[in-house]
Each structure stands twice: as C-alpha cells, then as structure tokens.
Structure 1
C-alpha cells in the first residue's frame, strides 16, 4: 500500500499545529504598547499645571531627573489626550507677569554688596578704610578703583599691597 504523504510530513504538520496554538495563547490580548501607569500620567499633568510655560520636552527632562524613564513621545501623548495645547500656545508670559514672578530676586540685586579681602595680613597700626554706605553705588577707597572700568582689579591698588576693597553691584 502506498502512502500519499510521508510520515515525516505528518510529524512536521503536527509540530506546526502545536506551535501555532502555543503562539496564539501567548500573544497579547491588545495590540500596541502597554498603557502608561496612572501615577506617571497624573505627575505629568501636575507638572504642566504648575509650570504652564513648560513643553513636553522640558517635562520629559524633569521626569528623567526624578528617575522616571519615559519617552518624550509618551509625555506628548499624555498632554494631547488631556487636551492640553503645546507650551507656546498655552501661555504667553507678559513682562508684567515675568517681573511679578522675579520681584524678589530683582529687589535683592539692588542691595547686594560683597566685601573682598586679598593679599597679605596688615600690620598692627594699619587701619582698613571704612566700607561705603550700602546702596551708594560708589567705592570711596582710593586704592581700589572697582567702579572705574579701566582701573586696576580689586586688591591690586598702588604698590600692589592687596588692600581690601568693596565691590558693589549697582
């Protein structure tokens, strides 16, 4: 009696059938990537709500700093799904808003004064000149011409004695 197929062919068909069943059982139920964890989604939305001028790339960088590894495109998708516009369209910072947010730093700049001491220790009878009144914007020491752009550097006055100088930030 002659067989139409050889036994090896029947065994190969059986192996392919079992492999197909196994592959179908291990295939994910939904195609595509896994959804983003809810806590990360909420964190992204919170960062954008608290910092309206940040775009998706800045938020992505901040998440990396926090140790959360997520793709920039995922951050973009989260913002897009939430209906949040891109950063330039979301908020245009006005000068008044910028100055209001930076008011504390701007006010502190007018009162910043640094006293520098350079060079060798002074002799007993040598008295240091009194520093100028804060906010005066002038340096009254003849040995240190800080306010003069062409003058010597602080502490390198006449004779190179290294006298202390007051550097004011006008």
Structure 2
C-alpha cells in the first residue's frame, strides 16, 4: 500500500484500495486509509504538486485546440473557417473553409491535421 501511494502520488486511498483488489489483496478501504495515515502519507490532493498550468506546459507539444470562426467573402458569402492552434509553438493552421460544415468534413480535417503533425515531427527528428 505504501509503495503504491509513493509511486502514484495522485492516487487516493480509494484508488489504492481498488488496485489492491485487482491484485487479489483483500483489505477494507478504511484499513488502507488508516495505514496511509499512520505512515504519515497525506491525502492525494495534498501530495500532488502539479498545477494545471504546469501540466499544460509539460503537455504543450501534444496539445491542439480547434474552433470555427466566421468570415465573409467580398461577395457577401458567409464561410466557416476551421482553425487549429498548436499550443507549444502558437502556430495557427487554417485547414479549410466551407459554407456548410458537416461532421464528416470536420473529421477529415482533423485526420489531415494529425497526419501533417506526424509528418512534421518525423522531419524534425531526422
């Protein structure tokens, strides 16, 4: 129990209790709590020191955000533009514009973005 708590600081006593059950070790959740308390191991929220901003910084290379924005052409046609932003580089990618976005077109654009990101990462590693 103590090893699980030390190696996984975000796990609380109920998670540790569940993992012990998976391993075939039967103990009451209150017993797990008492053992951790007696060992001086604080509850999980007090053991974890990772803040949300620190998490985002550490995962920035893998994070993308996307959204539509509206724009109008010179002829007055309304278009919806799908844009992605890479959090690490703050690079914005415009993946397409359409007057009538559909779920399948957005899915395809996301797949295209994924393929472009993988290709770019592979060329940087070379």
For normalisation by structure 2, the TM-score amounts to 0.50
Higher share in strand: 2
Larger Rg: 1
For normalisation by structure 1, the TM-score amounts to 0.39
